């Protein structure tokens, strides 16, 4: 028994070494297989993706400003409130605008009456011309009868001269009447009353006054949420005073600031995924590259770097790449401007353009909320002209 024990003791370390060697070889093979698999996956998939966490949600911030000056009477909405296109945001004091509107109405009525008087004067001048023609014909007839009598010395030379002077006077009076008629015609030019320049000018001033009165109510140009409200009740504002901003919850995008070393294969139209910090990995937004900016952030900064002076250290620049998000996902999971995101772009397909080469045929954004229908003002002008035309 002792001899067998002595024979088994040297074999135990040898078995342990053999097992350890087998395990190490197995682990080495596993790591090699994993490495080869990872390299294959990187070569086939991962190397075609560019990723950055220097990416932020962006959107439109519609700055609302008044179109007329005035004093603020009412502020209808506050920050975070939802507004719809056309909703009244701010109301200005209407007193001055109403006074100007009434003055414009009176000015139009006065202009119509004065112009109508000019048109009536034209008929009066025509009658005067006919009267002066009759007077001239009578004077010429009197002269014609007196000339033979003067030649025969049957009337005095003074009487004959008076007849000649009467003809000259009648001709001059006829010329005056004709010139007065021509001057009047130069003012009215055979144009209808509503198309007379003075009437049209007064009508335009009335429209301006009506527009100014309507614009005392400042409306929202689009649907969105109120933000950055600075206007207060009682403030005296002008057309250049920022009042508040309306931020639409739709049409949001992501500005992903990729390093310049990552942009070699980035093309317009490539698919992208976006993960926002507010939702985490639970929500993955799908989008696409719609454009690359024409300058880096440092180039467009307020004080661009002057690399041509002093000591210089190369810094890798970043270029904003716009990622358009799926509208349905954004509606389901709303985002906010400025939120941090993680963007990953699939650059495998490089058939797209580096820069856009087509011209946009439709407006990028539009709103008719600020457009006013002039039909009520035009109807009012027509009524005033009709009432004062006589």
276-285 pLDDT, tens per residue? 999 999 999 9
Let me know the angle formed at the C-alpha of 86 by 85 and 91, rounded to the nearest 5 degrees: 130
Low-confidence ranges of the chain (pLDDT < 50): 1, 5, 7
Helix, strand, coil fractions of the chain, as percent rounded to 5: 45, 20, 35
Among 187, 317, 330, smallest CA distance to 250 is for 330
DSSP string, 24-35: HHHHHHHHHHHH
Cβ partners under 8 Å of residue 214, min gap 6: 372
Q: Look-up: residue for tokens 């910090």?
A: 277
Predicted local distance difference test score (pLDDT) of residue 46: 60
238-253 pLDDT, tens per residue? 988 999 999 998 889 9
Among 84, 269, 382, 158, smallest CA distance to 150 is for 158
Predicted local distance difference test score (pLDDT) of residue 1: 47
Measuring CA to CA, how many Å separate 283 from each of 62, 129, 252, 257, 274?
28, 91, 16, 21, 9
Q: How many CB atoms lie within 10 A of CB 190?
A: 7
Predicted local distance difference test score (pLDDT) of residue 222: 93
Spatial separation of the C-alpha atoms in residues 256 and 153, rounded to whole Å: 116
Phi and psi at residue 215, in whole multiples of 5°? -80, 5
Predicted local distance difference test score (pLDDT) of residue 7: 47
| DSSP 8-class letter at 68 | S
The HSE-up count of residue 236 (CA atoms within 13 Å, CB side) is 0
Among 247, 244, 243, smallest CA distance to 224 is for 247
Predicted local distance difference test score (pLDDT) of residue 41: 66
Which conformational region is residue 70 in: left (phi greater than 0), alpha (psi within -120 to 50 degrees), or beta? left
Where does 52-59+249-300+315-346 sit in CATH, by number? 2.40.30.170
| Global pTM exceeds 0.85 | no
Among 134, 112, 65, smallest CA distance to 370 is for 65
Burial group, residue 70, by CB count within 10 angstroms (0-12, 13-18, 19+): buried
Task: Tell which CATH architecture fits domain 62-94+212-248.
Answer: Beta Barrel (2.40)
For residue 133 the two structure tokens come to: 């023609």
Phi and psi at residue 357, in whole multiples of 5°? -125, 10
């Amino acid at each position: 028994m002792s001899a067998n024990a002595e024979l088994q003791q040297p074999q135990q370390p040898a078995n342990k070494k053999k097992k350890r060697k087998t395990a190490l070889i197995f682990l080495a093979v596993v790591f090699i297989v994993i490495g080869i698999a990872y390299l294959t996956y990187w070569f086939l998939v991962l190397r075609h993706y560019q990723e950055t966490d220097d990416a932020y949600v962006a959107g439109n911030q519609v700055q609302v400003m008044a179109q007329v000056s005035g004093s603020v009477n009412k502020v209808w909405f506050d920050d975070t409130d939802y507004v719809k296109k056309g909703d009244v945001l701010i109301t200005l004091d209407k007193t001055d605008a109403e006074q100007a509107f009434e003055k414009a109405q009176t000015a139009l009525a006065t202009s119509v009456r004065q112009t109508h008087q000019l048109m009536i004067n034209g008929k009066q001048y025509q009658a005067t011309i006919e009267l002066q023609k009759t007077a001239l014909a009578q004077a010429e007839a009197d002269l014609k009868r007196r000339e033979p009598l003067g030649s025969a010395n049957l009337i005095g030379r003074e009487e004959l001269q008076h007849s000649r002077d009467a003809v000259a006077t009648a001709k001059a009076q006829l010329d005056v009447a004709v010139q007065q008629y021509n001057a009047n015609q130069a003012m009215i030019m055979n144009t209808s009353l509503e198309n007379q320049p003075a009437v049209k000018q007064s009508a335009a001033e009335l429209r301006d006054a009506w527009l100014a009165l309507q614009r005392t109510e400042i409306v929202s140009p689009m649907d969105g949420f109120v933000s950055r409200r600075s206007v207060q009740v009682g403030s005296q504002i002008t057309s250049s005073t920022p009042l508040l901003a309306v931020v639409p919850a739709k049409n949001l995008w992501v500005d992903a600031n990729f390093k310049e070393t990552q942009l070699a294969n980035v093309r317009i139209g490539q698919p992208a995924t976006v993960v926002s910090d507010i939702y985490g990995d639970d929500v993955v937004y799908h989008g696409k590259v719609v454009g690359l900016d024409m300058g880096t952030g440092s180039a467009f900064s307020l004080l661009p770097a002057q690399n041509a002076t002093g000591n210089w250290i190369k810094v890798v620049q970043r270029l904003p790449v716009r990622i358009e998000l799926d509208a349905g996902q954004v509606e389901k999971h709303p985002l906010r401007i400025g939120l941090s995101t993680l963007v990953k772009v699939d650059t495998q397909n490089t058939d797209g353009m580096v820069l856009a080469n087509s011209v946009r045929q439709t407006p990028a954004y539009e709103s008719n909320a600020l457009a006013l229908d002039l039909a009520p003002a035009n109807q009012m002008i027509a009524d005033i002209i009709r009432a004062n035309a006589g």
